[in-house]
Structure 1
């Protein structure tokens, strides 16, 4: 029986698991709670701590007990050792869908568009592609991630759609982080396709000391679901749970 498009979907979201080789059993409670309370789980990057395939294997083992679908994006830590393909392969073995400019559809009702994202700053202070080649390359990475997100959202025709990413599309959820590093934690370039395609909500991580909620200029809710931040506010449930 098809899901009613108007029915609420219980979506669990968390990022920055930073799984290490010695984390066997660390996420057992998380998985148990998600299975009991959510229809789907989304993971917002930094799944591993140093981007090692051994860490990916441990995380896959931990997530193998999930009984709900899971979509994820990678974070900067996952790229550290150049083993992204191997990590994604391990997670795919247990049914984790890694998104990188593409989407996952849950029961023909909820579309999840995902990208890693990138830094670059916000508003009038957004870094521009001028000067040295290194600066232009940095800006181009942010532009490319924004275009990937736009492409992912443009292919979604589901009644509901959300966005997952690692970096933040707004400065508000970065409040609490050192002001000097905030331009490296996200960029408003990522917010443009979100507002254009009217996503229901956005989930990101990366900002361990940031703020839990904010909104884009168009009023789209943005949730910082970095696990260290969740642990400070809801230590008994280290993930956000929303009805979409």
Structure 2
């Protein structure tokens, strides 16, 4: 960090498998030399298996910079989220998941997020109970994000998500699956806080790198497969 600037390296959808051998050790060492904080934007593992978390933890232990994270949908697949979290926390990862933290004067808030669609095409809580449950999940994630943001008193805040808060950064994916890639409810929450300087998410592997909320807050799709500046698989975002 120079002149009060904090550099965040953000990457999502690394999908670590249980048979991998140090898949990200070299990349994390590179990041440690270029950034002050690493933000992992969900889908840390392929199937949410404890062994996958152990493989990732091995590569993270020596990174030497703070690591913050949220889970993605893949991390929930096998129902071992709590054990996966415990393993990664032992390697120094700080999970946001509605619990904010401050690093060198910058606040970090994050949740996994959920689907539901964007703008006037957002799914409404109407009809069958299963539809209402789906919308309730999306609203609940937005409320947890709002609660985390309200707890921060820093002048600069970085938001970490898995699901997208805007449609612009999922452009490139089939439009039929947009409702499953994110929700404008997240952006509505973000835009209530002037302190939010940037947002990073993943999930949309074929989306678009950069967009912004209605209020103009920059949003970055940092899924590993998205082309980024300099050809890196991660984004470098300065706050």
* SS in structure 2 of the partner of residue 8 of structure 1: coil
Q: Which residue of 2 aligns with 1:171?
A: 167
1:147 equivalent in alignment to 2:129: no
Deviation of 1:38 (Å): 0.5
Cα deviation per residue 1:133-168 (whole Å; 9 max; x = unaligned)? 000000000000000000000000012101000000
Moved over 3 A (4+): 233-236
What is aligned with 1:104? 101
Shift of 1:237: 2.4
Which has the higher mean CA deviation after the structures are superposed, 138-147 or 94-103?
94-103
- What is the CA RMSD across the aligned residues, in angstroms? 1.4
Contact 1:123 1:188 in 2 (8 A): yes
Q: Using the alignment, how far apart are the partners of 2:33 and 2:223 within structure 1?
A: 21
TM-superposed deviation, 1:204: 0.1
Quote the residue 2:42 is aligned against. Answer: 45
Q: Is the 8 A contact 1:119 1:186 kept in 2?
A: yes
CA distance in 2, matches of 1:101, 1:172: 24
Q: Confirm or deny that 1:74 pairs with 2:63.
A: no
| Corresponding residue for residue 238 of structure 1 | 233
Q: Distance in 2 between matches of 1:23 and 1:208?
A: 21
Equivalent residue of 1:186, what SS?
coil
Task: State the secondary structure of the residue aligned to 2:46.
Answer: coil
Q: Which moved more, 1:129-138 or 1:27-36?
A: 27-36
5 Å-filtered alignment, 1:1-244, equals 7-107=4-104, 109-198=105-194, 199-230=196-227, 233=228, 237-244=232-239
Deviations 1:12-65 (A, max 9, x none): 000001000122221012111111100111000000001111101111111112
Unaligned runs of 5+ in 2: none
Deviations 1:61-100 (A, max 9, x none): 1111211001000000000000000000000101100111
TM superposition score normalised by structure 1: 0.94
TM-score for both structures, normalised by structure 2: 0.96
Rounded Cα–Cα distance in structure 2 between residues aligned with 1:234 and 1:32: 19
